[in-house]
Structure 1
Amino acid sequence: MKFKGIYITTALVLLGACKDSFLDPKLKGTELEENYYRDESEAMKGLVAVYDVVGWQGNGYVTRIGMANAASDDHFAGGGGPGDVNDYQVVTNWTLTPEIGPHNELWRKGYSGIFRANKLLEKLPDVQMDENKKKRFAAECKALRAYFYFDLLRMFKNIPLLTRTLATTEMRDITQAPPADVWAQIETDLKEAIAETNLPDKVPIATEGGRVTKGAAHALLGKAYLYQKKWPQAAAELALVNGTTPGSENPAYGYKLLAKFSDLWRSDAPAKYNSESVFEINYSSKSAGGWGCVSCTEGNVLNIMVGPRNYSPKPGAPDYISGWSFLVFTKDFYDAIHYDPRFKATVADLDSLKNNGFASYSAGHMNTGYFIEKFAGRNSNKTSGGGVVELNFPQNMYDIRLADTYLMEAEALVMNGESGLTGTRSYALLNAVRARVGLPAINATIDNIFTERRLELAAEGHRFFDLVRSGRAEAALGARGYKQAQHSVFPIPYNELQNTKMEQNKEWGGTK
Structure 2
Amino acid sequence: MKFRNSIYTGAVLLAIGSMAACKKSFLENDPKGQFLETNYYANPTQAFNALVAAYDPMVTETGGLDNTYINPLGALNSASDDCFAGGGGSSDVPQWQAINNYTMTPAIGPQGGFWASNFQGVNRTDVLLEKLPNVPGLSADLLKRYTAEGQFLRAHYYFDLVRLFKNVPLILTSLQLSQVYQQPQATPEAVYAQIEADLTAAIPALPASVSAAENGRATQGAAKALLGKVYLYQKKWALAASTLAEVNGTPGGTSTYGYKLVSNYGDIFKPTNKFNSESIFEIVHSGLQNYTWSNWNQFKSNVYVQMVGPRNYTGPIYYGGGWGFNPITPNLVSAIKNDPRYPYTVSNIDSLTKATGSAFLESYQGTGYYIEKYAPKKENVVTTGLTDLNWPNDYIEIRLADTYLMEAEALVNAGGDINRAAALLNAVRARVKLAPVAATLANIYNERRLELATEGHRWFDLVRTGQAASALAFKGFKAGTNDVLPIPLTETLNGTQLKQNPGY
TM range, smaller chain: over 0.9
Given that 1:309 and 1:325 are in contact with CA atoms closer than 8 Å, whether structure 2 keeps it comes out as yes
**Deviation at 1:390?**
0.8
Helix, strand or coil for the counterpart of 2:235?
Answer: coil
Asked if the contact 2:409/2:444 (under 8 Å) is kept, the reply is yes
**Matched residue, 1:320:** 319
In the other structure, the counterpart of 1:225 is 231
- Which residue is 1:200 aligned to? 207
Q: How does 1:93-492 map to 2 (within 5 A)?
A: 93-127=101-135, 128-196=137-205, 199-205=206-212, 207-243=213-249, 245-250=250-255, 252-268=256-272, 271-313=273-315, 317-386=316-385, 388-418=386-416, 420=418, 424-492=419-487
Gaps of 5+ in 2: none
- 1:504 and 2:500 equivalent? yes
Task: Give distance in 2, aligned partners of 1:166 and 1:425.
Answer: 47
- Runs of 5+ unmatched residues, structure 1: none
Deviation at 1:296, TM superposition (A): 1.4
Distance in 2 (CA, whole Å) between partners of 1:412 and 1:461 is: 20
Q: Is the Cα–Cα contact under 8 Å of residues 121 and 154 in structure 2 kept in the other structure? A: yes
> Across the two proteins, how many residue pairs are aligned to each other?
494
Secondary structure at 1:23 match in 2: helix
Per-residue CA distance 1:68-93 (angstroms, 9 max, x = gap): 10000110000000000111000111
Q: Deviations over 1:464-510 (max 9, x none)?
A: 000000110010111211101210111111111114211112232xx
Aligned residue identity for 2:499:
E
- In the alignment, residue 226 of structure 1 is paired with which amino acid? L
1:141-160 deviation digits (Å, cap 9, x = unpaired): 00010000000000000100
* TM-score normalised over the length of structure 1: 0.94
Question: What amino acid sits opposite 1:329 in the alignment?
Answer: I
| SS of the residue 1:398 aligns to | strand
- For the residue of structure 1 that corresponds to 2:461, the secondary structure is helix
CA contact (8 A) 1:328 1:371 kept: yes
Other structure's SS at 2:360 match: strand
Q: Which amino acid aligns with 2:76?
A: A
Q: Determine the C-alpha separation between the residues in 2 that align with 1:436 and 1:84.
A: 38
Quick check: 1:331–1:368 contact (8 Å CA) kept in 2?
yes
Aligned-residue Cα RMSD (Å) equals 1.6
Tell me the TM-score normalized by structure 2: 0.95
Letter in 2 for 1:501: Q
What letter is aligned with 1:411? Answer: E
Shift of 1:309: 0.5
Is 1:64 the counterpart of 2:105? The answer is: no
Partners of 2:87 and 2:502 lie apart in 1 by 32
Q: Alpha-carbon deviation of 1:111?
A: 0.4
Supply the distance in 2 between the matched residues of 1:94 and 1:214 (Cα, whole angstroms). Answer: 38
State the SS of the aligned residue for 2:456: coil
Amino acid at match of 1:89: Q
SS of 1:236 mapped into structure 2:
helix
AA of the residue aligned to 2:397:
D
1:204 and 1:296 map into 2 onto residues whose CA distance is: 25
Counterpart in 2 of 1:39? 43
**Aligned residue type for 2:229:** K
Question: Counterpart of 2:433 in structure 1: which amino acid?
Answer: G
Residue 178 of structure 1, CA deviation: 1.0
Query: Deviation string for 1:177-233 (max 9, x for gaps)?
Result: 11111000000000000132xx1001112x100100000000000000000000000
- Alignment-mate amino acid for residue 297 of structure 1: F
Letter in 2 for 1:203: V
Q: Name the CA distance, whole Å, in 2 between partners of 1:193 and 1:46.
A: 18
* 1:121-158 alpha-carbon deviations (Å, 9 max, x no partner): 11101112111011100000000100000000000001
Decide whether the 8 Å contact of 2:16 with 2:35 is kept in 1: no
Q: 1:17 to 1:486 in 2, by over 3 A?
A: farther
What is the aligned-residue identity percentage? 47
Instruction: Report the CA distance between 1:358 and its aligned residue.
Output: 4.5
* Matched AA of 1:61: Y
Give the stretch that moved more between structures: 441-450 or 280-289.
280-289
CA contact (8 A) 1:290 1:297 kept: no
Classify 1:345/1:26 alpha carbon distance in 2 versus 1 (closer, same or farther; 3 Å): closer
Q: How does 1:22-33 map to 2 (within 5 A)?
A: 22-23=26-27, 25-33=29-37
Contact 1:247 1:256 in 2 (8 A): yes
Please give the per-residue CA displacement for 1:35-59, whole angstroms capped at 9, x wherever unaligned. Answer: 2111111111000001111123133
Could you say what secondary structure the match of 1:160 adopts? coil
Q: Secondary structure at the match of 1:485?
A: coil
Alpha-carbon distance between aligned partners in 2 of 1:173 and 1:12, rounded to the nearest angstrom: 22
